[in-house]
Structure 1
Amino acid sequence: MSDPGLRTRVLVLAAALAVAFGSVTARLAWLQIVRHADLAAMAERQYTRTVALHAPRGPIVDRHGAVLAASTPAYSLFVQPRHVGDPVRVATRLASILRAPESELHAALVSGRSFTWLRRRLPPAVAEQVKALREPGLGLVPEPLRLYPNRELAAHVVGFEGVDGGLEGVERAWEEALAGVPGKAIVDRDALGRDVATQHVLQAPVAGHGVMLTLDTNIQYVVERELDAAWRRTGAKGAMALVLDPRTGDVLATAVRPTFNPNTFLDVPHREVWRNRIVTDPFEPGSTFKMVLAAAALQEGVVRPEDAVFAEYGRIRIARTTIRDWKKYGWLTFAEVLQNSSNVGTIKVALALGGPRYHRYVTAFGFGAPTGLGLPGESRGLVRDPERWSALSLPTMSIGQEVSVTAVQLAAAFGAVANGGTLMRPRLVRAVFDAEGREIRRFEPVAVRQVIAPHTARTLTRMLTSVVESGTGHKAAIPGYEVAGKTGTAQKLDHATGRYSHAPGVLSFVGFAPADDPRFVMLALLDEPKTERWGSEAAAPIFAAVGREILRYLDVPPRDAPPVQIVSGPAAGPAAPPVRLVSAAPAAGDDDPAVMPDLRGRPLRRALEALAPLRLAVEVAGRGVVVQQAPAAGSVLAPDARVRLTLAAPSRAGRAREPGRGEPCGSPCR
């Protein structure tokens, strides 16, 4: 190569080729080595998609396992508009399946977003129709649908679930337990961006836990039916009812009107309908609060049921304010003061008791503090410290004004009287269980404190029984059963005048039955009814109607039923083995001798329940609680033994073993 110019050109070309090849090599090395991970992930995103696998939400059931809320398979439909081929065609095809306007679907298909939900929680059949379209850009994700099979039944307690989890009631309060843990899966795509059916699960979802409530759907149904009828009949602004078991604090039923269907929870005139006013809305209780004053005065020895109180013929003047009775009374016994709901008589006893002692009992009964029921938004009510009271505070508080309480607080306080003086914490959740139904957490009844002595509770119960038998609560009577309770008619404050309005306000009744062995406590309340003026007319009949059904459902025999003699007969055949809970203690062996239980102090019903497994003949004499028994407790029983029980009124049984006034449960029992 003699031509220097040609040689130079060849060298330049060779250098250029070397640089170009080196650049390509360097670029390949950069892409294959340095950027390998990033580019592989980009390719993975183009041909695969990571989806969330929603965990099945745990069920909510009543105390017997009846389902109140459950989840069923469903699918949510989304679109990635950039991958949609023909938005007009896709919108037309989807409209007939989803029963939605084409214009709405078309707008979503042509939106500038990279991802848009079209419909949430479609039934499986609809989802299959969408999948059969095989349109690019459409995708389906499993997302269970929450169903409430009983519609409005216990809606305010159960609550409801939205897109982001539980929004009200138990669904919200127990969100962490119910929700479970979502999983992850990879879905392959074809060249057109359509999802391939096969999913590669990266992380399996963990099902949520179930929640068992203390509610009884049978009692709940009766309460809802009767409360709804009274609410409609009286044209009331609102209504609520609550049923508790005074022995454990279990909430057996709770109802609020107006109500809603949690399956369509958005279909309400306003969101205030969702609020569970049993726990969120405090109110002035009126005369039902006189029970607290009576309990405090009896426990402190300020007054006895037979002591006379002059009711001033229906009016008393305190701090330049005149407080009147609904009827002009002269001399009344303290029992008659409560029986006839005398404001003047109650105020006189309250003044004798004094503010500090009265305030201690008000707070000891649980007023002014949350009950710990566990529902969202629970109010503590309003109980002011005595230092902030005026000269009128003690008189007005004793008759249920200048104090506000919630329905659950008031029912729990009456429950303390019903069970012998112990305030029980209201319990709504019995247990939490896993997807296989195994109990993983149990909540036992909790006794908060002893408020009054048992003999005081029995005395007050007799006084409350006279309210129903001969006083303002006569419409709460249930034939065949003793009912104890108190009516309430509370006026509301007129904000325009600053005085209490004369229009009907909060009409209520709180009581329990049977009085000698209470199985339930119930509060019934109507807010501003149009056709009734008194709690005795409006709320007491609700108690009677519901209570009659509850006692029949619980197989509680009426008091006038003759005692049944239990006679053991020949066995028809081998009995089925009893169901044993995992946590139950092992039963005694078949060869162990039968031993006579200690029945003293028990009502007849409880005594017969204890004797039933022994299959013995029983003779009963008297009424009340067992004071004598033969054979004696602990005796070995022969197969043909005959049991004799002697009963007497509760006031005569066990008095010697109970604390008296001021010892040690004086002020108040703690």
Structure 2
Amino acid sequence: ALFQRLPGGNWKPVHNDAEVRPKQGIDIQTTIDINLQDVAESSLLNHLTMHDADKGCVILMEVATGEIKAMANLGKLQAGGYTEIYNYAVGNEGLTEPGSTFKLASMIALFEDSNLQLTDTVQTGNGVYEFYDRKMTDAKPGGYGKITVQDVFEKSSNIGVSRLVTEHFGIKPQKFVDYISNMGLASPVDFQMQGEAKPFISKPSDKLWSGVSLPWMSIGYELKVAPIHTLTLYNAIANNGTMIQPIIVKEARIADHIIERYETKVLKDRICTEQTVEKVKKMLEGVVERGTAKNISNAIYSIAGKTGTAQKIVNKQYTKSYYTSFVGYFPADKPKYSCIV
């Protein structure tokens, strides 16, 4: 209320038509587990500091419900140290080329459209392979030679994945893109927080599409997704093919009155066949047991997932700086949580 001071130090109320009476606010109950949130934030801070990284994020999601149990975002300050600057897990600044974590989507497309088996072999050669005028390399100097499909994924062979994809989808690249869209990777998940980034997926009809687009797309380039989108895909595999919408708000209420309750929502009943789910689960478990993520293997519980490395673009040029990530779920035999870092 407004008051006018009177002679003698007295005050009187002044009525104003523009006044708005206060209203009781709405309380939000989130899905966040404060203990898991504390672990996520402290672990993220420790590793960002250890590697002198620019920024990072963590999302921990319950497989069956899509409930976000922890979400941490930290960026580096010019003066030193880290703080929560931006929601990289969901927003546009977290929209990047995913690199090798996208190889899961490529393998799903291959298994869905062919009779490819984990024991089939592919020649990766000496670690360097040319697609038209552009060279693709594998991490191991000298290459992996002839290896199985299972090994291609465990070792994260760029050449292996791209050769498999181009040999099968080379004359029908749009079908590969259609599979990616059917997995939900081309659309936002309609997350409850504002500012969700919109994924970008290259298409054969695009002006910049070329002969090297398909092989590079198969290993996570020429497309952009946010961490929340990649995690939603991996969570679907953990959930036996059913894609669940991530949620961070359980309900909204005023005092004891519930205004709205948010339930688990299925985005896609099935992103692939049961046979494909079983194949990719074996590959994801192999990555942790024998492959690029064997450093996180432990005797307490099993983990399934995929490592990712993608070059950063600065001034439209790829640099020697990288985005690194891991996404997966645990326990592998009976998934409770999925996670991306």
TM over 0.5: yes
Give the Cα–Cα distance (whole angstroms) in 2 for the partners of residues 400 and 244 of structure 1: 23
Flag the 1:196–1:500 CA change in 2: closer, same or farther, 3 A: same
Match of 1:279 among 81, 90, 102: 90
Q: Is the 8 A contact 1:287 1:489 kept in 2?
A: yes
Query: 1:191 and 2:4 equivalent?
Result: no
Q: 1:312 to 1:420 in 2, by over 3 A?
A: same
Q: Kindly name which structure, 1 or 2, has the bigger radius of gyration based on alpha carbons.
A: 1
Which runs of 5 or more residues in structure 2 are unaligned? none
Distance in 2, matches of 1:234 and 1:286, equals 19
Give 1:260-299 correspondences, 5 Å limit.
274-280=85-91, 281=93, 282-299=95-112
Compare the two structures and name the one with the higher strand fraction.
Answer: 2
The aligned counterpart of 2:35 is 218
Alignment of 1:170-319 (within 5 A): 187=3, 190-192=6-8, 194-195=10-11, 205-258=22-75, 274-280=85-91, 281=93, 282-319=95-132
Alignment of 1:588-607 (within 5 A): none
Q: 2:115, 2:160 → 1: CA distance? A: 13
Secondary structure in structure 2 of the residue aligned to 1:504: strand
Among 135, 144, 148, the alignment partner of 1:329 is 144
Give the drift of 1:356.
2.0
Q: Deviations over 1:424-481 (max 9, x none)?
A: 111111111112x332211111111121123321221111000000000112223222
Q: CA deviation at 1:189?
A: 5.1
Task: Determine if the alignment matches structure 1 residue 460 to structure 2 residue 275.
Answer: no
Residue 205 of structure 1 and its aligned partner are, at CA, apart by 2.8
Alignment correspondent of 1:345: 160
SS in structure 2 at match of 1:299: helix
Amino acid at match of 2:183: F
RMSD: 2.5
1:385 to 196, 203, 223: 203
What is the CA-CA distance between 1:302 and the residue it aligns to?
4.2
- Residue 202 of structure 2 aligns to a residue whose secondary structure is coil
Cα deviation code 1:128-181 (max 9, x no counterpart) = xxxxxxxxxxxxxxxxxxxxxxxxxxxxxxxxxxxxxxxxxxxxxxxxxxxxxx
CA contact (8 A) 1:210 1:433 kept: yes
Scaled by the length of structure 1, the TM-score of the pair is 0.46
Question: Normalising by the residue count of structure 2, what TM-score does the alignment of the two structures yield?
Answer: 0.88
Q: Which residue of 2 aligns with 1:522?
A: 339
Structure 2 counterpart of 1:348, which letter? Answer: R
The C-alpha deviation readout for 1:527-563, integer Å capped at 9, x for no partner, is xxxxxxxxxxxxxxxxxxxxxxxxxxxxxxxxxxxxx
**Against the structure 1 CA distance between its residues 458 and 414, is the aligned structure 2 distance closer, same or farther, given a 3 Å change threshold?**
same
C-alpha separation in 2, matches of 1:195 and 1:520: 61
In structure 2, distance between residues paired with 1:234 and 1:321: 31
In 2: Cα distance, 1:194 partner to 1:416 partner = 69
The alignment partner of 1:385 has SS state of: coil
2:134 and 2:220 map into 1 onto residues whose CA distance is: 16
Residue aligning to 2:266: 447
**How much identity, in percent, do the aligned residues show?**
29
Secondary structure in structure 2 of the residue aligned to 1:279: coil
1:360–1:476 Cα change, 3 Å = farther
Partners of 2:211 and 2:8 lie apart in 1 by 83
Distance 1:194 1:308, change over 3 A: farther
Structure 1: distance between partners of 2:10 and 2:118: 83
CA distance in structure 2 between the aligned counterparts of 1:373 and 1:188, rounded to whole angstroms: 48
User: Contact 1:214–1:251 at 8 Å: present in 2 too?
Assistant: yes
- 1:489 equivalenced with 2:306 (yes/no): no
Residues 440 and 315 (structure 1 numbering): CA distance in 2 closer, same or farther, change over 3 Å?
same
Q: What's the secondary structure of 2:278's corresponding residue?
A: helix
Q: Answer whether contact 1:246 1:412 (CA < 8 A) is retained.
A: no
Aligned-partner Cα distance in 1 for 2:261–2:50: 41
SS of 1:522's equivalent in the other structure is strand
CA drift of 1:206 comes to: 2.4
How far residue 504 of structure 1 moved from its aligned partner, in angstroms, is: 3.1
Shift of 1:273: 5.7
**CA apart distance, 1:386:** 2.4
**Structure ranking higher on relative contact order (CA contacts 8 Å, 6+ apart):** 2
State the shift of 1:193 in Å.
Answer: 6.0
- CA change 1:403–1:203 in 2 (3 A) is closer
Shift of 1:308: 1.0
The secondary structure found in structure 2 opposite 1:387 is coil
Contact 2:124–2:144 (CA<8 Å) still a contact in 1? yes
Kept in 2, the 8 Å contact 1:420–1:453? The answer is no
Structure 1: give runs of 5+ residues left out of the alignment: 1-49, 52-186, 261-267, 525-670
Q: Is the 8 A contact 2:174 2:203 kept in 1?
A: no
